[in-house]
A and B are shown apart, each in its own frame.
Chain A
Amino acid sequence: MTTTAPVSPPEAPVARRRLTGPRLARMRDLALVPAIIVLVLVGALIDPVFLSSANITNVLQQQTELSLLVLAEAIILIGGRFDLSLESTVGLAPALAVALVIPAASNGIGTEWASYLAIPLCLLVGLAVGAFNGLLILRFGLSAFIVTLGMLIVLRGLQIGITGGQNLFELPMSVLYLGNAVWLGLPASIWICGILFAIGIAVLGFFRHGRAVYAIGGNRDAARAAGIRVDRVMWTVFIVGGLLAALAGLLMTGRLGSVAAAQGDGMIFTVFAAAVIGGVSMEGGKGTLFGALCGVIVLGLINNILTLAGVSAQWIQAIYGLIILVALMLARLTTGKAQD
């Protein structure tokens, strides 16, 4: 310890260099935009009809119900939970609401409540389902997967029980309105969807309560330690999920002019696929609603292109499923991260 001489300090912090990457990774929000462009080009090549405004409007409108479910599921997934029962709510909510207002002769329950109640009732059913899911999962600490799988079956069963397995055709005007109305030249359902996504993107991106959902999905204990009321936020998320599913059911009912006994059946796979293709992680805390929206659009375009290309109806499902799997693999490649 006699003479001391400072060794040259080459200030090259390891972290800085290594940490410039993640910013780019966040660009993966836009990762699907090239895919969408490619699909549009492919569509235009296959059939000139593809680019007509009528076809585009049609594609978008067909995707509105799915996109509302994806919106709901994406928020729930970001919060680190699951909801499989959304697809049953799509059927049950409008079915129960309609059954309560139409006469028994048209397969109603016979209560014949005032028909303007149909829409509020429908949303109320969605809200109640979401609240009940939240109760079981958050209060009683049951597994979200099993609870919502159970609810998926129970709700579907309820719908069949209530309607006697029949489709409901005699719908009140109010129920038909949203699925058919045209506002400023575009179907109302597209407007509704666009506005809800805009609100969702703003809340999850720029508001404290929205960011809380990310924090909860990322590390629940840390979120609690930071003063976030984890259960309250997640409960709200489940309720919003139920409401969106009921709204999706309403739009579908209006568009198709009836409540089918199997309305919404099998949608949940596509919902998850769209969310994951859009970069939402099944593990929670990762992904954006914009990404999820891109996921929906990609699937919608693929579906439309398959139809225009004249793929036979018997094969379309297998091919569609296959393409979703391929899309998942491509998304894995372009984002470079495991879809956990």
Chain B
Amino acid sequence: MTDVLTDAAGSGAAAPPPAVSAHEITKRFGATTALSEVSVSIQAGTTHALVGRNGAGKSTLVSVLTGLQRADEGTVAFGGAPAPAPSDRDGWRRQVACVYQRSTIIPALSVAENLFLNRQTDGGPIKWGGLRRRAGALLEEYGVDVDPGALAGDLNVEQRQLVEIARALSLGTRFIILDEPTARLDATAIERLFGRMRTLAAAGVTMLFISHHLREVYEVCDTVTVLRDARWVLTEPVSAVGHDALVAAMTGEAVKLTEVAPRSVPDAPPVLSLRALTLGDAYTGIDLDLRPGEMVGVTGSGSSGKVSLAETLGGLRRADSGSVSVSGSAVGVGVPAALRAGIGLVPEDRHREGLVPLLSVAENATLPIGDRLGPAGVVVPRRRTAVAEEMVRRYDIRTESAAAPVASLSGGNAQKVVLARALSTDPRVLVLINPTAGVDVRSKESLLGAVRSAADQGTGVLMVSDELDDLRHCDRVLVMFHGRVTATLSRGWDDAQVVAAVEGVTSEGASS
């Protein structure tokens, strides 16, 4: 690993220059140091993983490597030659393509135009028909089932992510960065992405891959770099660092991840009941009873209807028929009715439905409990700050202060704010959609711990997730397939059962 560092300094004469090297990069945002003298170099043709806890500086390094942000100190080189000037956007674009963590889809434009943004033609007027055909071919190649003429804003989170991936991989650059591409994809889509990545790697393309799923790092990457608290910690071949060593490097402490302790749910009448709930072609005939304190997981592929189901409960969608009731009384339509009934929702898209980017962390976190922060609708700032600071501490949110705008938080930390807010209302039913997407291994534990303790207090939890680690906390797991619940797994399931059920293959032992 010292070799790698010397190479980064550009003195490696014998070896070919690394495809990309960042040398002693420092980047500050006001009082926050996001990167401190970080050096990384990536050998041509390798797939390099970048891991670290939320707020470690991964995405900041990405924006420096793609030229979107200029480092305060340090240099970037591609293939031994210095990086283009900051204003030379075309120069950067020839060197590196990127799937950013924050969506770079333009909602008001068509899918086709998003795919070919700023390269709609080689010159001369745009031929829209041809562009749509090319887009259609590209989407087909990547197995994305959307109409290229559709507005990108009407796509769901997963489809948008797939469009971004297809765009970045099709740009034809020799270096591609993927910042948490898998956080919003289901297992099939992830497999397909990995297949693509292997093909590209075989063709000699260099990749930088960021993920909080260490399993994925072992699956597709050759080398791994760990960042911790804005500093470089290690760079090693993945075969040379075990899972625990990697977690220890990320967290700076050699503690084991805790096992999920068994829990028991008292027998009680259901707090949430669904009867024959049906919505168009999203889901059909869903029946469910959720007891107070029970945690029920819902999983399935992207087209299983699980997200629509959760959004219906949270009031974002309206079912065509069937009923939803909380403690026996029917729930009205819309978000306010759901909130009044005591249903809290952690939505899928934190940027669109979750957070107000320019308001502070404190304001965002306390939005639904404004009435509790002072008399007669007045929000007492001191009370709000106190409540927010407590949340920041409890959920381990890395922010400059509770007064910093949410837009300045790293992806995983923003997710924590959304969850903290949902829990702040003490809901009777908590509906979570991919609550730990983009959250690092340790924070995942504390977040799930918070959900568990809410359940222990009697909240019924319905958790829609693709993550086996999330589902392991649930008392039972429903698997949906094309809009129907096809399997119910009780505690003690093994991973293969879930995977098989999600793929639409029922196994005898699993169904109940």
Contact = CB atoms under 8 A, between A and B. Distances in A.
**Do chains A and B interact in one complex?**
yes
Interface of A: 1-7, 9-10, 12-23, 25, 202, 205-208, 211-212, 214-215, 217-219, 221-229, 281, 285-286
Contacts of A217: 108
A231 to B, nearest CB: 9
B66 A19 contact: no
A14 B303 contact: yes
Interface in B86-124: 87, 89-90, 92-93, 98, 100, 102-109, 113, 117-121
B462 to A, nearest CB: 20
A126 to B, nearest CB: 27
A211 B126 contact: yes
Interface of B: 66, 68, 87, 89-90, 92-93, 98, 100, 102-109, 113, 117-121, 125-126, 128, 145-147, 149-151, 154-156, 159, 280-282, 303, 305, 308, 481-482, 486, 496-497, 500, 504-509
A219 B506 contact: no
Contacts of A223: 106, 117-118
B506 A4 contact: yes
Given A15-B159, A218-B109, A10 B482 contact: yes
A222 B106 contact: yes
A75 to B, nearest CB: 15
B106 A206 contact: no
B146 A226 contact: no
A248 B145 CA distance: 48
**7 nearest A-B pairs in the assembled complex, by CB-CB distance:** A222-B104, A218-B106, A19-B150, A22-B151, A227-B93, A206-B125, A226-B117
A168 B145 CA distance: 64
Contacts of B156: 14-15
Contact of A4 (B106, B125, B505): B505
A225 B506 contact: no
10 contacts: A7-B481, A16-B147, A17-B280, A218-B109, A221-B68, A222-B103, A225-B68, A227-B92, A285-B107, A285-B109
Contacts of A10: 482
B125 A9 contact: no
B504 A2 contact: no
A207 B147 contact: no
A21 B149 CA distance: 10
A244 B504 CA distance: 61
B392 to A, nearest CB: 26
A225 B154 contact: no
Contacts of B159: 15
Contacts of A14: 156, 280-282, 303, 305, 308
Given A7-B504, A19-B147, A224-B68, A12 B106 contact: no
Nearest to B494: A1
B118 A228 contact: yes
Contacts of A212: 118
Contact of B87 (A211, A219, A222, A229): A229
Contact of B120 (A21, A211, A221, A229): A211
A269 B100 CA distance: 40
Contacts of A221: 68, 102, 104
Given A1-B507, A15-B155, A22-B151, 9 more contacts: A1-B500, A7-B486, A13-B145, A16-B146, A18-B154, A205-B126, A206-B125, A215-B109, A226-B117
Contacts of A4: 500, 505-507
Between A25, A211, A224, A226, the greatest number of chain B beta carbons within 10 A of the residue's beta carbon is seen for A226
Contacts of B500: 1, 4
A207 B125 contact: yes
A6 B121 CA distance: 44
A224 B88 CA distance: 11
A168 B92 CA distance: 53
Contact of A1 (B68, B98, B509): B509
B120 A1 contact: no
Nearest to A228: B118
Between B102, B159, B281, the greatest number of chain A beta carbons within 10 A of the residue's beta carbon is seen for B281
Contacts of B305: 14
Contacts of A224: 68, 89
